Amino acid sequence: MTTASTRRSGRSAPVEIPPDDGADMPESAANPEDTRPVLVVPDSRGRLRSWNFWREQPFWKDWIALYTRVTPPEHIAYLNRKGIKNVMAGDEHVDFAQAFDELANRFGVDTIRVDSGGTLNGVLLRAGLVDEIHLLVHPVLVGDAERPTFFRDRLGNRYEGIALHYLRSEVHGEGNLLISYKVIGA
């Protein structure tokens, strides 16, 4: 059983994700009036097998999987059986520049919001694919030397800082601060 964390009223709560029930689902019929975002999942190893669960969530209007040349063919067949749209982008790892171009060309995606951890954030920042960063600061301090940072490099490379230009800030809820920056050179 896989777990995910959801945020409700500022608190994280684990959610148990059931294994795939085997039922096929028809491809979605995108409604142009629907303003919800599209869920895009990079999965070059073909590990995500809980699409039925994610499709039942009310947050997204459509679902797209990103895969690569090394993704097992049986996983691509699985995506097609599930009616999950998919994009091949890259050889061993997802080439996000190529994937973003395909998302724009094939599906009309013009804005991508990434809610992720340090590894994907680092990959996208280092590739120059991030225009803006929005940080939501909660009035709680957590962390230690063992916890991942906002962005990191899985290969252990060292980089200089990434320059940001302040855009705006807003206070939300009980002291949560949303700070927005433009990435310099993006």
Model confidence, pTM: 0.73
pLDDT mean over 70-77: 95
pLDDT tens per residue across span 147-173? 656 665 555 555 567 889 999 999 999
Per-residue model confidence (pLDDT) at position 67 = 97
DSSP letter at 16 equals: E
Per-residue model confidence (pLDDT) at position 68 = 97
Asked whether residue 22 carries a pLDDT value surpassing 50, the answer given is yes
CATH number assigned to the domain with residue range 1-113, chosen from the 4 options 1.10.287, 3.90.960, 1.20.1070, 3.40.50: 3.40.50
Residue that is written with structure tokens 């777990």 in the block: 3
DSSP letter at 20 equals: P
Judge contact between 80 and 58, C-beta under 8 A. no
Question: Domain segments of the chain: what residues?
Answer: 1-113, 117-186
Report residue 77's pLDDT band, with 50, 70 and 90 as the boundaries: very high
Domain 117-186 fold is Dihydrofolate Reductase, subunit A (3.40.430)
Q: What is the dihedral sign for C-alpha 53, 58, 59, 63?
A: positive
Burial of 64 (0-12, 13-18, 19+ CB in 10 A): buried
Q: Looking at 91-148, which runs of residues are DSSP E strands? A: 132-137
Amino acid at 27: E
